[in-house]
Chains A and B, each alone.
Chain A
Amino acid sequence: MSLQLNTLFVTTDGAYLRKDHETVVVRVEETTRVQVPLQHLASVVCFGRVGVSPELMSALAEAGVHVAFFSPTGRFLARVEGVPGGNVVLRRGQFRCADDAARTLELARAMVAGKVYNARQFLLHARRDAAEVRRQGLADAAEHLASSLRALGRAGTLDAVRGVEGNAAREYFAAFPLLVKREDEAFRFGGRSRRPPKDRINALLSFGYALLAQDCAGAAAGVGLDAAVGYLHEERPGRLSLALDLMEELRAAVVDRLVLSLVNRGQVGPGDFLEDAAGGWRMSDAARKTFLVAYQEAKQVEVQHEFLGQQVPWGRVPHLQALLLARVIRGDLEAYPPFRVR
C-alpha cells in the first residue's frame, strides 16, 4: 500500500477501504493500515481482492477521484467514475470525428508519428551509451523507424497507417534485446507477447502498459472525452481505444525506459516472477511494489513539453495530450501535436 503523487495504490489482498469523515481508511484484518484525506487524492488503484464501501465509492465519485480495479496479475478489470463531465458537446465532436474517415486518418497518423518518433529517439539515446557491439544494431533499427516515419507521411488510408505502425513495432521490438544489459538467461526477451506474457520482460512491459493505459483513460475522462472511442485503435467491447491511442506516443519513453532500468540495474531479479502452468509469466507482489514506486517516481520527473513550451512532470503529459486532442476535436487546432521526446 502506498500513496504516490496523489494515487493510492492498494496491493494487499483482503484490504477493505471505507470512508471516515473526510478520509479514506484502508483496513486489513481489523487493523488500520493507511488513512489519507480525500481531498489529496486523484485516484485509487486496487490490485487483487480489495473491497470499497459504497459510501466511500460515492464520496470518491463525487470528488472526481477515479477508482480502478486490477486482477492480481495486473489485468484491468473496472474503473469507477462519477457522473461524466457536462461535456456532451465535446463527446459528440469526438464521435463525429470517429465517423469521419479523413479526420480519423489524420489523427491516427499523428498518433503513430508520435509513437514511432519517440521509439526512435529512445533507441538513439540508448545507442549513445551502448556497448560497441550493439551500436550498429540500434542504429539500423533507428534507421528503419525513420523510413517508417517517411512511409507514414504518405499513408493514404487508415489501414496503411496501421500497417506502418505494425512494421515499426516489430522492428523496434526486434532491437529491444540490444537494450537489455543483463546476460542472465532469465531476462532473454523473445519478442513482444501478451496474454499471457511469455517471459519476464514481457510481464514487466504488460504491467507497465496497463498502468499507463489507466493514466491515459483517466486523462481522457478528465478532459471530458470518452476513453472507449478512439481513432488509431479499433473499437471493441471492453476496450479503452482512446486511452490506447493516447498511450502510443508515451510507451517507449515512459514504460520501456522504466522496465529496462529496473532490469539493467538489478532492481528486479529472476526470482521476482512466477510462471504458471501455461507458460505465462507474472510479477511477484514484491516486484509489483517495486515497479509501482518506480513508476510513480518517474512521473514526477520534469520534461520539456515542446509544443506547449513548458516544463512539466511526466505524470501530467497524458492529461495535456488529452487536452490538446480535445482542442483538435473541437476545431481549435488543425492537427494533433504528439508529445515529442527530445
Chain B
Amino acid sequence: MSGGPSESDALVPISGLQHLMYCERQAALIHVERVWEEDAATVAGKLFHERVDRAGTERRRSGRVVRALPLRSERLGLVGQADAVEYHADASVPGGWRPFPVEYKRGRLKSERADRVQLCAQALCLEEMHGVAVPEGALFYGASHRRVSVRFDVALRQETEAAARRLAGFIQERWVPRAVFDARCPPCSLRARCLPEPVSQPGRAARHLARMLNLEEGE
C-alpha cells in the first residue's frame, strides 16, 4: 500500500470524540486498532440505542423530530448519527425550522464534558448540512430522566474541533498513544486489552526477561 489513507479512512466517528475525551489511548484502541470488548455496559448501551435509533419522523405540536439522522461534516471529517434532531419553529431561519440535536444517554451521567463535545459535534454537522446556525441542543439522561440544555458557545466549539482534529490525526497516522495508568483505568472496559499497568512502566518487561536469563528470583 502506498500513499495516504483513503478519504473514507480519515473520517472521524462522532462517537469517538467521547472516547477521546475519556482517554486518548482508549479512543485510538477503538478507532485505530478496532479493539472493542463488549462488556455488559456497552451491550446494554447498544440495546438502548437500538430502541432510540429507530429512524423516522414524528410530528409534535412544537415541530417535528427526526430520529437516527445521519450526520456529516466535510470540513471536520466527521460522520455519525444523531439520536434525535428536533426542528423548532423559528421564523428567523430560512425555511422556518431550526435544528436542535438531542442525545440520549443511558444511565448515570459519566462525563458531561464528553457528552457536550459529542453533542456539539452533531451541531457542527447540522450547521454544515443545513446551512443554518445551531446554537443549542440538549442531553437527556435516561436514569435520572434529566434533560440538560447545552449552548454551543465558542469555547465548546473550539474544544470540539480540537478533539475532532486530534482523533483524525490518530486515525490518519494509525497512532496509538501509550498508556498512562491512573484513576480512569479501573472502570475502563478496555482495560483487559490495554494492559495499562505493565505497559506504562518503562523497562519492566526487559527486567522481567533479564531476570529469567540470569535465573534471578522474581519481584
Contacts and interface: CB of A to CB of B under 8 A. Distances in A.
Interface of A: 85-87, 89-90, 110, 113-114, 117, 146, 149-150, 152-153, 224, 306-309, 323-324, 327-328, 330, 332-338, 340, 342
Nearest to A340: B212
Q: Is the interface of B mostly helix, strand, loop or mixed?
A: loop
A206 to B, nearest CB: 27
B205 A307 contact: yes
Contacts of A324: 195, 198, 205
B176 A330 contact: yes
Interface in B145-183: 174, 176, 178-179
B112 interface: no
Given A89-B32, A323-B195, A332-B199, A153 B205 contact: no
Contacts of B208: 306-307, 335, 337, 340
Contacts of A87: 33-35
Given A152-B213, A307-B205, A85 B34 contact: yes
B209 A149 contact: no
Contact of B212 (A86, A149, A327): A149
B209 A337 contact: yes
A89 B199 contact: no
A9 B198 CA distance: 35
A150 B210 CA distance: 10
Contacts, number: 77
B3 interface: no
A296 to B, nearest CB: 22
Interface in B177-219: 178-179, 193, 195, 197-199, 202-206, 208-209, 212-215, 218-219
A90 B29 CA distance: 11
B190 to A, nearest CB: 12
A309 B181 CA distance: 15
A333 B176 CA distance: 13
Contact of B206 (A89, A90, A334): A334
20 contacts: A85-B34, A86-B33, A89-B174, A149-B212, A224-B33, A306-B208, A307-B198, A308-B198, A327-B199, A332-B178, A332-B179, A333-B205, A334-B202, A335-B205, A335-B208, A337-B204, A337-B208, A337-B209, A338-B212, A340-B208
